[in-house]
Structure 1
């Protein structure tokens, strides 16, 4: 089979250096390995597996941008290459978190600083249950070091900013050195944060990804602009990944993807990897815990002569005296030279109005360095109501002590080096006019720690690595505990903060993970069955997920495959596959419109839903078309005919005078699937109105009110409390269409073990419900006089309804999705819904 080495994406950008193709429809891939994330870990795993003969799909949420795209303009590049355009914060807005979101991940926007994993850190991790021998660590580090072309910054490459820190360290007698960087023939432009226009920075895109894509021995496809939503699994075996292709500018979902794979590797970064695990109820009691950072705070020294710190390598020198690289075991900090392009600099300095203008006038006179603290794993990643990642983190008390010490040390160094004054990041003392202000700054940090501006580009932890499954998410091979073929490898598995810029440690860990998978392939993974699932992608077997253009093409190309008698329905022939969550309803053919998001399609979808029923009447085939929201039953007569454009089709003629100018053309795909087009005019030259599909087999997401009631009454029971605990997302049940996720129910136990539920509806209405479990169902009450009734179908699927109090007032009105039930005491409205544990 010919190998397809290609990068795919949504963005129409010309002149790609690698083979690039636009995604124009839903995608289903069947491969050996699916890797999620293309940064320091994912790129290496994908490379090493692909070059060893595995078929690989690599998924990246960001876009594919080449050196030519990286134009060194901050306003362009920050929005293009940075996650959330650089505006990612902790939940209390205490700290900004810098991360990349593009092919190559954060390696594209970092400062190329490279540290091997300190021995102190490796020893600590070993004591915490990580069983990776030093020999393997060293070999992996050396392999990475070579592949990304690491070399030490030479003295003549140090700009005045770096030299100022160097002189200050030497004057104090502090242990310090020039940095190692993954650059070849660096142009020293100073725009590392904006991607490397010259391709001298040896990031993942120009090293591991490029080699994998260009090697004739690799079998790899890379899909960009792809947001992963689901990992599907059963009994400890993961079988696939599902995601959305999302338009970067509008946020609209354009297409879907399903990747069936024998091995799945999550390498989305410390925050996103935890988010993916939590959204899919993988290690829910451990994932996202133990998040940590290297929080950093800067000091500027204002010197009499121009420093021009923007001109040259931003991070070329480090003071090691107080950090893990000098054997400090608990906490500690590094002092690293750093500088920012002018826009980022102006946004990062905590001053306003006239003071800000005066400060910016001295831009060329500043030397800048940051105190980077090694904090404890005190943070968490959790989910918001809509499934977004919520990062909770406050620096530990130990970290704040390190900040106080580190900022004192750095302020003294700047004054020793000749600074006229020093500018810091604490709101209570912005400018240090002389040495006498250092004690005031330290006191401000100690007494008002929240007043110190901090940032971090190094999120770590959350999915701790270790051999104890009760406390760790992955083992020492980065395999998720309880799974045979699901791995997480990136900074999220660090048991503690590594203490140095982490990219090389991440790369080494990914190298070890890839080697383990390759070495174990024949014995553990090769014989695993490959799923044939299609997820929510468009296909002949499930056309209800298709866009109009795709469905149009399918109709035009597909031949009618079954005799016309296949149309005949059988009333009462209804069944439910609880394992697959599939409904087979042969009472009629349920109609489906396309998934386009334009207003016309949306209106037709939600208010024009229909079914068609076919039967034998007086020895002849006849039919009825009924829209759910109208008292219309349109008689029709189906007839097999040959159409000059579409070939053999079922011509559906409406017999009533009011519908005489309408007709449908149908193609029967199989026993359960029909493609159709509706026309207005005289056949065969009528004007096409729309394209649609019909099925008598569909997923529970498309259930009708009747389906819901049958499942509620016949296939669901009152749940057990322990099985309910967790986060559930819900859809409203509509006869006409699949509705979006509109509600989130989070069930927890209070301190007394009693079940409680927090809900969010429509992203706006939030509250708590009192939960009562009866032998029949789960009841939930809030401040309204309506209540919820819920029953469990499977451990991951429930059905429910939100009902009004009964009344004797006639309720024979309202839209189809608002059902009316007769109960003791009268009639009531009920809004039906479904709940799934995983999105």
Structure 2
């Protein structure tokens, strides 16, 4: 269930291997001509019908979120392609240390898989999604070479790279799931810089563009407008299909094997809605962990104002450069784990510029901005700003959780998801410390003024609510994503992450989905499947 990143990877692989694949997706296909990136008012559209928060967007296919007990505002998109339709396309592998945080730092849990085990699957999905980047990054083990050449670094990225060089700090050209040359179904990036509002060129590796055409060509079928209400079981306790609503009508899709890829909020919501006499607290929830340990990346940002026009509107909107200088644990800093930094071009967004000036901490809110000063201020700032985004590792805590709301429902009467989330003290210290270092980077790069613009920003990264592990008592799924309780039920999205890592999760989500699908193909004769 779910036609997002993980669903696209699995559907393509399984269909190409001869499996009969049906994808149930509560949203619809996105008409590329409707994307806001094609229009000059794209920022306004991005604040309404294309907003990442479903509570703001309020499309019929969205389900509401109760965020009364959450310090994090949630982002996701429902439709074929999922959140890859509107994501910035930052492509970041997790690092080897991310899989061993318990061993290295005494917190959370080690993953049941290693970087070395995932590496071949990273490579395969990077080819399928047209990832561009520069080989040889010393922050990763040798051999990491994206399939496409790196996209050009814009002027803002080059200026900051020079500042990082002065400090002796690590930086590297950004990795992006955006094609730097024509590749499979993707066109060469024309650097419009509106990636988060939909790519007018079709260069971005959103799975509706890059993966589903091949899945459909090999016989996969996507049922759109299909909101899944529950996963059903046969008399032997095996998953045998799903009940869903389509155009207000209740329907049933039979299946021999079920894979769930509805993101770190939608997946636990569905499992909890699928309670039964066999599983009274939610499907596959004998551990009691379904919905618990919710993690996100509550990132921070800092901005520097520079005298020269940096053309920071030049795309792509993915990473111009990234830094892993402060990624690994240093106990002297007062926290564990670390953060990836990256620069995302502004795409010349005037509304975004206003927010950065008027909402910043120690910025220019106290200086003349509105009225007669407005025009001069905007002329001197649009194209003159560099923004660092600090992506922190968020540690798992069981009180951060997804449950079913007792009263709020979606348009089919199914319970809304209730999010309880509080940013942990370790995460707060991590972000604050890294933000101060980012101000040093702005100074080294020649900023006339630099300030912290935000903390605890909402990310689209919903993780950790169906933990992967070897022990059925302390995890929901095994190292392949297969439920400990229901042998033919797989979870293939960010729900399975034992830890959040300090990087954007899409690369690891896709690699895990590819690995799970490959395992199913290779063990097809040993798989327990429903015949009911």
Q: TM-score range by the shorter chain?
A: 0.7 to 0.9
Match in the other structure for 2:10: 45
Q: Does 1:106 align with 2:88?
A: no
Which protein, 1 or 2, shows the higher relative CO under an 8 Å CA cutoff with sep ≥ 6? 2
Query: What's the counterpart of residue 169 of structure 1?
Result: 164
Change beyond 3 A, Cα 1:389–1:85: closer
Which segment is superposed worse, 389-398 or 127-136? Answer: 127-136
Residue 85 of structure 1 deviates from its aligned partner by: 6.7
Q: Deviations over 1:146-198 (max 9, x none)?
A: 22222216788211222232122112110110112222221111111011111
Q: Secondary structure at the match of 2:403?
A: strand
Aligned 8 A contact 2:101 2:110 in 1: no
Match of 2:130 in 1: 149
Where does residue 278 of structure 2 map in the other structure? none
Going from structure 1 to structure 2, the CA distance change for 1:511 and 1:325 (only over 3 Å counts) comes to: farther
Offset of 1:380 from its aligned partner? Answer: 1.2
Partner of 2:232: 232
- Structure with more strand by fraction: 1
Q: What is the CA deviation profile of residues 450-498 of structure 1, one whole-angstrom value per residue up to 9, with x for unaligned ones?
A: xx45222222111100011111111111111111211111111000012
2:324 to 320, 324, 335: 320
Instruction: Provide the rounded CA distance (Å) in 2 between the counterparts of 1:105 and 1:183.
Output: 17
- Any residues of structure 2 matched to 1:546-585 within 5 Å, and which? none
Matched, 1:59 2:61: no
Q: Is the 8 A contact 1:60 1:222 kept in 2?
A: yes
Find the partner of 2:193 among 190, 193, 203.
190
What SS is found at the alignment partner of 1:461? coil
Show the counterpart of 2:71: 94
In the alignment, the residues of structure 1 paired with residue 158 and residue 55 of structure 2 have an alpha-carbon distance, to the nearest angstrom, of: 32
Aligned in 2, Cα 1:292/1:58: closer, same or farther, shift over 3 Å? same
Give the deviation of 1:516 after TM superposition. Answer: 1.6
2:112 aligned with 1:118, yes or no? Answer: no
- Alignment of 1:419 onto 2:413: no
Q: Distance in 1 between matches of 2:521 and 2:503?
A: 29
Matches within 5 A, 1:232-381: 232-234=232-234, 235-245=236-246, 253-280=247-274, 281-284=282-285, 285-314=288-317, 315-324=319-328, 330-341=336-347, 342=349, 345=352, 349=356, 351=358, 355=369, 358=374, 362-378=381-397, 379-381=400-402
Is 1:501 matched up with 2:504? yes
Deviation of the 1:332 alpha carbon: 0.8
Cα pair distance change 1:228/1:326, threshold 3 Å: farther
Residue 316 of structure 1: how far off its partner (Å):
1.5
Structure 1 or 2, whichever has the larger Rg, is 1
Q: Retained in 2: the 8 A contact 1:169–1:413?
A: yes
> 2 CA distance for matches of 1:257 and 1:76?
34
Q: Deviations over 1:304-329 (max 9, x none)?
A: 22233222222211111001499999
Query: Where do residues 493-642 of structure 1 align in structure 2 (5 Å cutoff)?
Result: 493-525=496-528, 528-530=530-532
Residues 39, 105 of structure 1: 8 Å contact kept: yes
Q: For 1:243, what is the secondary structure of its paired residue?
A: strand
Task: Decide whether the 8 Å contact of 1:81 with 1:194 is kept in 2.
Answer: no
Structure 2 SS opposite 1:514: helix
Tell me the equivalent position of 2:49.
79
Tell me: CA distance 1:55–1:501, structure 2 relative to 1, closer, same or farther (3 Å): same
**Distance between the aligned counterparts of 2:12 and 2:351, measured in 1?**
33
Q: Please, what is the CA RMSD of the aligned residues?
A: 2.9
Equivalent residue for 1:448? Answer: none
193-202 or 385-394: which moved more? Answer: 385-394
Q: Does 1:222 align with 2:243?
A: no
Give a deviation string over 1:44-96, Cα, whole Å, max 9, x none.
11111112221111122222014333241244456247451766784346333
Give the structure 2 partner of residue 489 of structure 1. Answer: 492
Q: Is the 8 A contact 2:343 2:388 kept in 1?
A: yes
CA distance in 1, matches of 2:351, 2:228: 30
The alpha-carbon distance between structure 1 residues 494 and 155, as it changes in their structure 2 partners (threshold 3 A), is closer
Residues 1:112 and 1:156: Cα distance change in structure 2 (over 3 Å): closer
Question: Within 2, Cα distance between the matches of 1:325 and 1:39?
Answer: 32
Structure 1 230/396 Cα, relative in aligned 2: closer, same or farther at 3 Å?
same
Compute the displacement of 1:344 (Å): 6.1
**Judging changes above 3 Å, is the alpha-carbon distance between structure 1 residues 71 and 255 closer, same or farther for their aligned structure 2 residues?**
same
Q: Identify if the C-alpha distance between structure 1 residues 223 and 481 changes in structure 2 by more than 3 Å, giving closer, same or farther.
A: same
Deviation at 1:363, TM superposition (A): 2.8
Write the distance in 2 (CA, Å) between the matches of 1:517 and 1:81: 36
Task: Compute the displacement of 1:113 (Å).
Answer: 1.9
Match of 2:416 in 1: 388
Look up the SS of the partner of 1:515 in the other structure: helix
Aligned to 2:118: 137
Paired residue secondary structure (2:516): helix
Question: Does the CA-based 8 Å contact 1:125-1:495 persist in structure 2?
Answer: no
Shift of 1:384: 1.0
- Determine helix, strand or coil for the equivalent of 1:405: helix
Question: Partners of 2:90 and 2:337 in 1: how far apart?
Answer: 20
Consecutive unaligned residues in structure 2, runs of 5 or more: 58-64, 135-148, 180-187, 275-281, 360-364, 409-414
Structure 2 residue 181 is the aligned partner of structure 1 residue 181: no
Point out the more displaced range, 142-151 or 337-346.
Answer: 337-346
Q: Is the 8 A contact 1:186 1:200 kept in 2?
A: yes
In structure 2, relative to structure 1, the CA distance for the partners of 1:494 and 1:47 (3 Å cut) is same
Q: How many residues align?
A: 459
**1:213 corresponds to:** 216
Structure 2: distance between partners of 1:155 and 1:119: 23
SS in 2 for 1:182: coil
